[in-house]
Amino acid sequence: MENRKEVFSWIKAILIAVILAFLIRTYIFAPIVVDGESMMPTLQDHERIVLTKFGTNIDNIDRFDIVVFHATVDKDYIKRVIGLPGDHIEYKDDTLYINGKAYEEPYLDKYKNQMAAGVPLTESFKLEDITGSMTVPEDQLFLMGDNRQNSLDSREIGTISVDEIVGKANLVYWPINEIKIVK
């Protein structure tokens, strides 16, 4: 009889642990693997990161956050938030302008320094030339990869619905020697 109680206690503990792990992974945090070079130099191909899944509504997403979104039924992309709803986006002479104000992008400095003189990292464009709209629509985001010359992003696929956001990247945890907070 005592053995039965102990077995039942173990089964109950394991079942609770499995349910908690499922709930945490489904609704709070998830590990993902960076696939590709579109976020270099910020994130490297095959790095493993922790994704925060809660707080992915429009009120909790900030400009320059790095987010993962459903690009297709089978594929998720990881990109940086450049434009929020209502923003007018323009790149001119390798400088980002949001609503007419120039913004620094220090995460691009490494690649900009490698470019030949006079060659821009980010080609000039205006939001309206890409999407036909003067501003990022309500409940949409304009996303770009940090590796501007090798990134399939909002410049090609248009703005992304906030409903497609899976979560925000927070922490690189693998490889161990590259552990860092994602900025």
- Give me the residue spans of the domains in the chain: 30-181
User: Bridge-partner residues for 169, per DSSP?
Assistant: 51
What per-residue confidence (pLDDT) applies to 52? 85
Distance CA 31, CA 65 (A): 17
pTM over cut 0.75: yes
What per-residue confidence (pLDDT) applies to 24? 65
Residue 79 near residue 144, CB atoms below 8 Å: yes
Query: DSSP character for 39?
Result: T
SS3 155: helix
| Average pLDDT for runs of 10 along the chain of length 183 | 80 84 70 87 90 73 92 90 96 94 91 80 91 93 93 93 90 85 80
Catalytic residues: 38, 79
30-181 in CATH: which number? 2.10.109.10
